[in-house]
């Protein structure tokens, strides 16, 4: 059996959600395509994750269409490049909802854009698959049609904190964030969760992500007695400068934090390859090698299937590909369950979904919780173990 073809096999019998219950405007002809809007920052400073996700989204659409579509209806993907600009994202969200009349919207890719577009799509009554991590993006009462596929930011932070405190046995934490809205809020939340665990950071600072040298901040962290550095920033340039400053000071303190610490661009920004040692990041069970060097079956199946399209080489973190792929498979799951594209039927279908098997994770949503990614899908990886987009598990 081909694992890819069985990823979104229905787990539920939702016989009450039939085409008969759909309003007249949702009763599309069998041959009419299902239109999916895709808000993606394919250019600009936030493009690296979006480009990888786009590979997964496009591959899933092509795979479904080659198999005859969903219930005989092909998928039509309408992609809009936001370039990481919230204003563009808002304009494109309105265009997709009101002019293109899509049935679903995937994205935007980053949380800053999503904070601006989620209310717009909610007002338009268009189901929105969220792939930003900021916790405020899902609220079943305010945004009943918004469902998160990616993990939450808090799941990243909790995983990293647990590894630093319980596995590495560190108690003197230096929390570093950047001055962006995301960096500042994440550093604040990380510090609060540490304090809930009985650990007050010995040093906290927000750094301009464009600052060329962070030696001063790293020296202050060392002077404060820090025995672990925990950075919360998605800016790979800043993260590389943190690792360089630590290395240049010959301070072998562990660094534990944001998944961007594993980003392949960091490798070319380091003064020495060894500066990536003793660095750990929140990651995913789905893209982690086991002790025998193997990936989970579904991940390997998708990787094998998509590799020819990627030129036989995977030079970006594969979880983004898996996430993009799964967003389309979630739509397939809902359409098959409901028999159509009615928005309220979509909501009921996902709120009744338990353990839907994906590549990136197995998803469960409820009426009270529209965050589908399970805690069990989180791990911590060794940052410098990149191989075909995946990583080794951090040691104990």
Q: What is the pLDDT of residue 47?
A: 87
Q: Does residue 20 register a pLDDT over 60?
A: no
Q: Does residue 308 register a pLDDT over 70?
A: yes
Average pLDDT over every residue of 48-52: 90
- 279 touches 286 (CB < 8 A): no
Average pLDDT over every residue of 234-251: 96
Sign for the CA dihedral angle at 167, 170, 176, 182 comes to positive
What is the Cα–Cα distance from 203 to 368, expressed in whole angstroms? Answer: 37
Q: What is the pLDDT of residue 116?
A: 95
Average pLDDT over every residue of 377-385: 97
pLDDT band at 30 (very low <50, low <70, confident <90, very high): low
User: For residue 390, which phi and psi values (nearest 5 degrees)?
Assistant: -125, 175
Q: What is the pLDDT of residue 182?
A: 87
Average pLDDT over every residue of 294-317: 93
Q: Does residue 17 register a pLDDT over 80?
A: no
Q: What is the pLDDT of residue 99?
A: 98
pLDDT band at 298 (very low <50, low <70, confident <90, very high): very high
Instruction: Give Cα 199 to chain centroid, integer Å.
Output: 28
What is the Cα–Cα distance from 260 to 317, expressed in whole angstroms? Answer: 10
Percent helix, strand, coil in the chain, to 5, is 45, 15, 40
Q: What is the pLDDT of residue 15?
A: 35
Instruction: Give Cα 209 to chain centroid, integer Å.
Output: 21
**Residue count of the chain:** 396
- 357 touches 44 (CB < 8 A): no
Helix, strand, or coil (residue 242) = helix
What is the Cα–Cα distance from 50 to 81, expressed in whole angstroms? Answer: 10
Order across the sheet with 255-257: list the strands.
Answer: 203-207, 173-178, 228-232, 255-257, 279-284, 378-382
40-49, 160-169, 219-228, 268-277: segment of lowest average pLDDT: 40-49
12-16, 41-45, 214-218, 363-367: segment of lowest average pLDDT: 12-16
Q: Does residue 180 register a pLDDT over 90?
A: no
Residue whose C-alpha is closest to residue 266's, from 306, 239, 286: 239
Q: Which residues of 228-266 are buried (b: 16+ CB within 10 A; e: fewer)?
A: bbbbbbbbbbbbbbbbbbbbeeeeebbbbbbbbbbbeeb
Q: Does residue 12 register a pLDDT over 70?
A: no
β 104-106/34-40 pair status: parallel
Q: What is the pLDDT of residue 380?
A: 98
Residue whose C-alpha is closest to residue 261's, from 285, 289, 280, 287: 280
16 vs 61: which has the higher pLDDT: 61
Q: Does residue 4 register a pLDDT over 70?
A: no
Averaged pLDDT score across all residues of the chain: 92
pLDDT digits (tens, 9 = 90+) for 129-138: 999 999 899 9
β 279-284/378-382 pair status: antiparallel
Residue whose C-alpha is closest to residue 322's, from 92, 67, 105, 151: 151
Q: What is the pLDDT of residue 13?
A: 37
pLDDT digits (tens, 9 = 90+) for 319-337: 999 999 999 999 999 999 9
Order across the sheet with 146-148: list the strands.
Answer: 75-81, 34-40, 104-106, 128-130, 146-148
Residue whose C-alpha is closest to residue 304's, from 314, 315, 293: 314
What is the Cα–Cα distance from 357 to 128, expressed in whole angstroms? Answer: 20
Q: Does residue 9 register a pLDDT over 90?
A: no
């Amino acid at each position: 059996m081909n694992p890819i073809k069985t990823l979104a096999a229905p787990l539920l019998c939702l016989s009450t959600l039939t085409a008969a219950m759909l309003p007249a405007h949702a009763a599309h002809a069998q041959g009419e395509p299902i239109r999916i809007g895709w808000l993606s920052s394919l250019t600009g400073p936030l493009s690296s994750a979006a480009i990888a996700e786009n590979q997964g989204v496009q591959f899933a659409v092509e795979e479904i269409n080659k198999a005859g579509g969903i219930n005989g209806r092909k998928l039509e993907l309408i992609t809009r490049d936001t370039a990481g600009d919230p204003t563009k994202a808002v304009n494109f969200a309105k265009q997709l909802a009101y002019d293109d009349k899509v049935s679903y919207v995937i994205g935007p890719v980053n949380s800053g854009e999503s904070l601006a577009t989620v209310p717009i799509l909610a007002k338009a009554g268009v189901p929105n698959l969220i792939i930003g991590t900021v916790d405020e993006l899902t609220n079943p009462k305010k945004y009943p049609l918004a469902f998160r596929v990616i993990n939450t930011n808090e799941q990243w932070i909790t995983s990293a904190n647990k590894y630093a405190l319980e596995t590495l046995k560190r108690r003197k934490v230096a929390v570093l964030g950047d001055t962006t809205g995301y960096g500042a809020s994440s550093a604040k939340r990380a510090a609060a969760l540490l304090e809930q665990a009985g650990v007050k950071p010995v040093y906290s600072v927000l750094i301009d992500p464009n600052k060329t040298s962070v030696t001063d901040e790293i020296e202050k962290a060392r002077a404060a007695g820090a025995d672990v550095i925990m950075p919360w920033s998605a800016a790979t340039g800043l993260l590389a400068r943190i690792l360089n400053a630590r290395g240049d000071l010959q301070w072998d303190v562990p660094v534990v934090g944001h998944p961007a610490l594993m980003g392949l661009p960091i490798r070319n920004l380091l003064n020495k390859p060894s500066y990536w040692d003793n660095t750990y990041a929140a990651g995913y069970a789905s893209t982690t090698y086991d002790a025998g060097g193997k990936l989970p079956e579904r991940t390997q199946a998708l990787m094998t299937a998509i590799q020819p399209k990627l030129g036989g080489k995977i030079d970006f973190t594969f979880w983004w590909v898996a996430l993009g792929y799964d967003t389309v498979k979630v739509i397939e799951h809902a359409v098959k369950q409901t028999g159509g594209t009615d928005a309220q039927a979509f909501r009921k279908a996902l709120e009744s979904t338990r353990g839907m098997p994906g590549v990136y994770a197995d998803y469960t949503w409820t009426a009270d919780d529209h965050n589908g990614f399970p805690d069990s899908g989180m791990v911590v990886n060794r940052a410098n173990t990149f191989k075909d987009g995946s990583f080794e598990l951090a040691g104990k």
